Structure 1
């Protein structure tokens, strides 16, 4: 064989290998309109192949636009085929689709983790289409599906906005343009809310005109219609919003349950403004039916739909139904507050973890670049100046992040207070109706419900404030001799006042004059959180006992027990782990709420100890020990 033929053969082999390694890019596996025909192809071609892998990714990416409830139907096979064919684009798509799914289901820590994996892969491949989508999702992770701003970190937003623009310019396909516009719509709405109405209308109409010229992009109509309807709604063009939402409803298939839930909620809002009472009631009930069946833990939607239903019933003067709906509104507002608080804390933690990793990657690249330049000039002085400048930049950036974190948490407090305050809306009409009917029992029940909402607001504020302080490792500790019996009776009295909806017996056994040496505010927060957990466990009646006694000259033991539903073994193990090392516990980890974490931290700060035992259907007992007097040893 001649040398020329040998070289030609080597070239062909190398070219074939490169082609196999980069069979397609993320932009090549874009969403499509006719997913039914693609499903049929997949049914007829089940043998493993790169073509099947591509079509599976196309199908899942199409679901991100029009069938969100079907997401993750094929991701495990995508992962399997990607590993089988060693396809990096397939792996990146797998992580991106999972990140999109977790974001939609408010599992933000998982979303950030999966997104980080996807970015790492697409960065390695230099795949601008994949990076455009990843950074777009990273940016939209700051906003809820309804556009509420969850994190307002300006540095975070600015960086990813620049990345999105950069990678769109590198890969300006029609499908990437549509995604780019959808991201900009969400960011505009999330950043400016009602102030963005006219801009939303303009941007949405531009996107719609682009889709009309590119029929292959018609899968994007629904999402753009939603933003255009929001723009109309905020301009008080409610009829236009209503008609557009009806148009969006008509293009949905019966199995697009998530999208139908969104439309029914938006139409119920339109009907409130247009006073379409009967139609509005029907949309509320349709929306609740979908949420109950497909998204039972979406308490925000349930609370909002029940709130609109309540408004319609008040307008129809059906106050007896208003009173029963009030119970549902209060229930789902309470659940929504707890869920929202846990999600926001978890999200804030996840964001900083993700951002820290991204900073590490950026820092490494910057260090390599600087090292190369510094080796060329071999200047020790330049090295010193460079390091000093970098450290200054790093400290300055961290300072901005901490300042922003403080602003975010204050914003969260205001946000979490908003929903419990809805319990007060319309109470005057309901109470007036009951007065006319001389239904004093209902009035008493409504009054106690208001007390319960007030107590929930107070507990939310105390826990959030304590969490903020603990994040800066500044837990207050101003110990003094606390009269335990008086403190226990004061806390119990709060729950006796709001306990009209439950028959709960409180029994306090504490020797008069017994004192513990601790921070009084901390002890009250601990007792209130534990008592709140026991009170919630009563269904609908039961007994809560608080028993305090002196173990020896050094310690006093406080036992809080109930005969409620108990705690299952898995969650009990998590709680014990938190009690043993509270500083490493994070909100949302394995379902752990903020209250018990703060209890554990305050117990440890006050030189105490805490343990728990529980049996299902029998009840739960918390045992706490605190110093009985000032310790003579030095502070440890």
Structure 2
């Protein structure tokens, strides 16, 4: 057995020596490679070497960190100094020198705060929190780690966030809050995957395996340890491999496969010793003691437990002593030494409870250390936050209330608009029915007259004198023309309403249009002995649609003739006002009452009226006039009194 142990030791020494020499050679080659580089580059390379070798060759990692710190100090570069101090603090923590580690962390924090380096401030807080965690002071641990996490989240530093979440996961695991522990450890894996950090991922997986082991989900824990072993091997993480092999040993011990358990524990112990991994050594020695106890080798078991307890006492990590007392209790139970089993049970219970008490004491001490001024400031800060919160809540309420009111107004407005639109639609339908009723009636009467006169001609043609025949033909002609005018206006109005009427404004000679229109109505004027009078320049140019303006003049002159008695006058005059032409079509006819004047130009007020010789009119022509004038950018209105004639006045743009 002695020879076997010597062979194992020789084997691991043969592995460790080349590893150290390889790392030393790598450091020497790096220093040689960058000897002519700027000092900041050298310090950065040395810091990277320190970090990458913290678990392989910690002493060499410290050497690199110290060299980096010297360079940073010579440059008075506070940022590099803070980083070097934090990295060396991690190495000393792994070596179990917590006092030295804490001193370095605090020094790093001071330098980072002096230059407001948020990144190193956060790492310092997380590192300090990690030390408090190892010492069992979970209250102060969480306080510092959460400070760090808050900064890292603001910086979106996923690597830093992952260091914090894994620390929090470990705290919850120690408190046996395994659900929260797994939550934070899985969050750590997600963060590590996002930055492709295989070593960080492996550590989180290893801790998840530990959680499942503590929950006695042994097969699941074994699967995780196997996966972790592959990942640690890939990144050459010696500390991780030592922890994983120890995990295998604990699983096989639980399964009572003591030979496999011992093999894995032995190789884990040797590697932990080689890299000065104290926590790993304590775990391995405790389990070697349990394995030997199960095999009846109590002297070897005693030796292992004493070595484990000695190392645990030399460290400041309280959980190391707690685990030693726990395993010693199990050992004496196996030996049937219930007196010592009870002794170590008490030690275990007292120390475990002291961790909980320490958390409460730390909280009280922290509050007591705050002086009155600081307490008042904290109180004022809380009050200010409450006032700000109340103000925000009030503002949110006002905004929400305003939005509700605006929404209600919009909904009510739409309801009113819809209601108004419905009323208007009903009115329009009523107007339409009335309008078409009048139009149908006015179309029917001329046709009745035409049918009547043609029937007389057909039946009594031979009996009628030539004068009677001529009078009948004149009446048929008059009725036909009136009907044609009505249909023409109706057609124009229909086209206008459907938006199909072309609008082509251009410069035209209005004087010529007036002459042409008078010529059209010359015979009608002679029949009633009505005179046409114009007061228009020889060439009056305006800008409008020629077909629309012709329709306007036809309707206005036709109305003038219709409602003017024999011997009357229909006149047209113009005048220039502010870039527009004002045209007045005036007659000496019967005039229009105030009541009827209000009804003009409105589709809903269309009605049949008779001229001085019984001519019929509907008012549709005036509606067309209004639409066409407004389409050309003008306005139209009427001035009239009963018995004093009428003046229809409209404006259109003058020549541009």
TM over 0.5: no
**Relative contact order (C-alpha < 8 Å, sep 6+): which is higher?**
1
Give me the TM-score of the superposition, normalised by structure 2: 0.44
Which of 1 and 2 has greater Rg? 2
